[in-house]
Structure 1
């Protein structure tokens, strides 16, 4: 194999093992019932986990920072405002990996015109 071929093979191998780039998504973090999690941001509703089904890798182990201001709607379950470092699949509106979660004050989401109102 020539030097150019070796370099090309190394570059292709590096691309194949490069993880997807993380993005920050901020909005309403919903947990209405056990193991059901969604994030509603300016782009729509993203599935993080569904009871008895898909669960985004990393979510249970992701570092969580900030003071949580949860609004209960079903016992211990409810919603809050958060930003998440994630990878996602826009075609399926699925969070494919959770890297970290940062709680934000409810007011941050309430005042964001790109997010739906949570008032009933």
Structure 2
């Protein structure tokens, strides 16, 4: 197949436009609320109404940004200092890999906020 020389710059521009629109859509922040589950060192997930989102896997992956800070009444301790709490996280996510890419803000919530939501299943302790 022969592509005229004049078409190549047009195709290139269209490809860059499509790529930049896709990248911009992928980089949109969203707020996700649910169970912030940290059962073992370096392993963290957020379980919300859409399912499980990976925040960190020890030695493999960790989202950029600060995790929520919980006080004693907001944290269910399991396995010493590990456990889970209820949180809302504003983050850039990758919906294909179900990973949280970067966290711009993270706020702990009362445990009752997640317990009252019928779409959320409390992690096992």
Identify the TM-score tier after normalising by the shorter chain.
0.7 to 0.9
Counterpart CA distance in 2 for 1:66 and 1:75 is: 15
Q: TM-score, normalised by structure 2?
A: 0.73
| Distance change in 2, residues 1:66/1:30 (3 Å) | closer
Runs of at least 5 residues in structure 1 that lack an aligned partner in the other structure: 1-7
Is 1:98 aligned to 2:103, yes or no?
yes
Q: TM-score, normalised by structure 1?
A: 0.76
| Distance change in 2, residues 1:32/1:112 (3 Å) | same
Per the alignment, in what secondary structure is the counterpart of residue 32 of structure 1? Answer: strand
| Distance change in 2, residues 1:116/1:102 (3 Å) | same
Give the length in aligned residue pairs. 108
Runs of at least 5 residues in structure 2 that lack an aligned partner in the other structure: 1-12
Greater gyration radius? 2
RMSD: 2.8
Higher helix fraction (1 or 2): 2
Task: Tell me, yes or no, if the aligned pair for 2:37 and 2:123 is still in contact at 8 Å.
Answer: no
Task: Tell me, yes or no, if the aligned pair for 2:55 and 2:99 is still in contact at 8 Å.
Answer: yes
Which residue pairs with 2:54 in the alignment? 47
